[in-house]
Amino acid sequence: MRSGTSASPGLADAARRLISALQASLHERAELLSVELQEEKFRLIQVFIWISAALFSGMLALTFASITLVYLFWDTARLAVLCSLTGVYVAALIFTATSFKRYLARQPKPFAATVDELQKDHESTQLEN
């Protein structure tokens, strides 16, 4: 009877330590996820602002340059200028889309650090078993 009562408090202490360690680990992972989420939000806002500014400036420049060229060649080569401008704009669109695709491919995956830590936790529990 005595061994049963002494083993129970040790088991309860081990369970409390295990629960405490799990809570600490979950708390750390939640903090890491929170930091990464905040970083991703700021990065997304920055990308949106840069894209908006570039589009606005580019559209104004293209509009006024196009109007100027068509005006200059109105009597002699109006159709040729319009077709050429269309070709230039299509080429610029293709270049921009390709460059943006490369930019996105170079960006780190969202929440990579959190996923790595969770993977390490999973691997360490697999080794213990």
User: What is the CB neighbour count within 10 angstroms for residue 115?
Assistant: 13
Rounded to an integer, the average pLDDT of 93-106 is: 91
Tell me, yes or no, whether 99 lies in a domain. yes
Q: What is the pLDDT of residue 1?
A: 46
pLDDT band at residue 123 using 50, 70 and 90 as cut-offs: confident
Secondary structure class of 110 (helix, strand, coil): coil
Domain that holds residue 94: 29-128
Tell me, yes or no, whether 116 lies in a domain. yes
Tell me, yes or no, whether 17 lies in a domain. no
CB burial readout 24-56, b (16+ within 10 A) else e: eeeeeeeebbeebeeeeeeeeeeeeeeeeeeee
Q: Report the domain count for the chain.
A: 1
Q: What percent of the chain has pLDDT over 90?
A: 33
Tell me, yes or no, whether 62 lies in a domain. yes
Q: What is the pLDDT of residues 5-63, one digit of tens each?
A: 555 678 888 888 888 888 888 888 888 888 888 998 999 999 999 999 999 998 998 89
Beta-strand (E) ranges in the chain? none
Q: What is the pLDDT of residue 129?
A: 60
Rounded to an integer, the average pLDDT of 98-122 is: 82
Tell me, yes or no, whether 107 lies in a domain. yes
Tell me, yes or no, whether 20 lies in a domain. no
Handedness of CA 12, 18, 20, 22 (dihedral sign): negative
Give the Å distances, CA to CA, from 98 to 38, 51, 95, 125.
Answer: 28, 15, 5, 43
Task: Identify residue 29 by its one-letter amino acid code.
Answer: R
CB 14 within 8 A of CB 99: no
Structure tokens given for 55: 């589009």
Q: What is the pLDDT of residues 61-82, one digit of tens each?
A: 889 989 998 999 999 998 999 9
